Amino acid sequence: MSFIQANELTKTYTVFEKEDGILGSAKGLFVRKCKTVEAVKAISFSVEEGDIVGYIGANGSGKTTTLKMLSGLIRPTAGTLTVGGFIPAQRKTAFKKMFALVMGQKNQLWWDLPAKESFALFGAIYQMDKQTYVKRLNMLVDLLDAGGLLDKPVRNLSLGERMKMEIIGSLLHNPKILFLDEPTIGLDLLSQQKIRQFFKELNKEEHTTIILTSHYMKDIEELCNKLLVIHKGTIVYDGTADDIKGIYSGQRTVCFTYTGELPESELRRYGKVLGLQNGRGKLAVRGKPVVKGKPAVTAEDILSIHRELVDRFSILDFWTDETDMEDAVLRLFSEKS
């Protein structure tokens, strides 16, 4: 069974509709008009242990609601959900020790105290012995290059520095799964890069499962091996970040270097020849229209072309020019709207 398994997961809210003005407020005391809002609509997906999953969508699409269900903060209206063998809504102690939730727009550290005092409290809450706590704290501080920040009141830290402290506080108890909701929001480019690199190292060294929501496509492209796209409460894409480019850009550009003769007529079977001179070639590989969700040009398609070219010709190097994933996602939203 997958580490995370969601089946027909649904969350609805009942919202009070108030008429305008004082008279409308008075009417609402006696006659309340309500409507049901579906924040998440029967979504199903699975995540394997050690995956880094990008979970993206427009504002109000249901991303944060899903993370709150995954962490047990809210109960699903319908459907089933397990995380690491636990049902999150039951909020068992063992489950709460297994995950961490980092929200870029919410603070968990005491504003007027140095971060290290909040960390000491977290260590006590998670019943960490002193040796383990100190070792873990030092390791996280070193990875995030945050040694000079522990003694400063949180209110005196920059946004990027506070984000580092929030991440350290969330990871002190060594969780198996990390839910990240916009962790790089508002950060400068250098801070974004450092935090992305930290998560890469964390996943590599500790095999931590990470689910990341972000509006920055750079976060998704650099970190995630799996991509979920939610639109108006429904999962509209479940695959890799690489494949979505092939689906919604319609083509992939293949580049290579070679020696010897390479007839242009032989290359046309793979795609449109964009260039072939001085030992360098370029192909535009177009896929067929998407049928029942099948990607137009997948990573496997590109690998197949690579193998055939290497077998038939003297290919020295081979790579693909990156399609803009942001454009691919925008096309996906446009198609589903």
Nearest to 66 by CA among 42, 33, 50, 90: 42
Q: 46: burial class by Cβ within 10 Å (0-12, 13-18, 19+)?
A: middle
Sheet architecture: strand order including 52-56: 99-103, 177-181, 209-213, 52-56, 226-231, 234-239
Nearest to 305 by CA among 256, 234, 263, 261: 256
Residues in the chain: 337
- What's the pLDDT score for residue 19? 79
Domain spans in the chain, listed from the N-terminal domain onward? 4-242, 244-336
Q: Which residues in the chain land under pLDDT 50?
A: 291-292
Sheet architecture: strand order including 251-259: 272-277, 280-286, 251-259, 314-321
- What's the pLDDT score for residue 291? 45
Q: pLDDT per residue over 210-240, tens digit each?
A: 999 988 888 888 889 899 999 989 998 998 8
Nearest to 248 by CA among 259, 260, 257, 239: 239
Asked whether the CA dihedral 134, 136, 137, 139 is positive or negative, the reply is positive
Three-state secondary structure string covering 49-110:
CCCEEEEECCCCCCHHHHHHHHCCCCCCCEEEEEECCECHHHCCHHHHCCEEEEECCCCCCC
Q: pLDDT per residue over 282-310, tens digit each?
A: 888 876 655 445 556 777 788 888 888 88
Nearest to 220 by CA among 250, 166, 246, 183: 183
According to the CATH classification, is domain 4-242 in 3.40.50.300? yes
| Tokens linked to 85 | 């063998």
Residue in this structure with the two tokens 């068992």, named with its chain if needed: 92
| Tokens linked to 197 | 């690199």
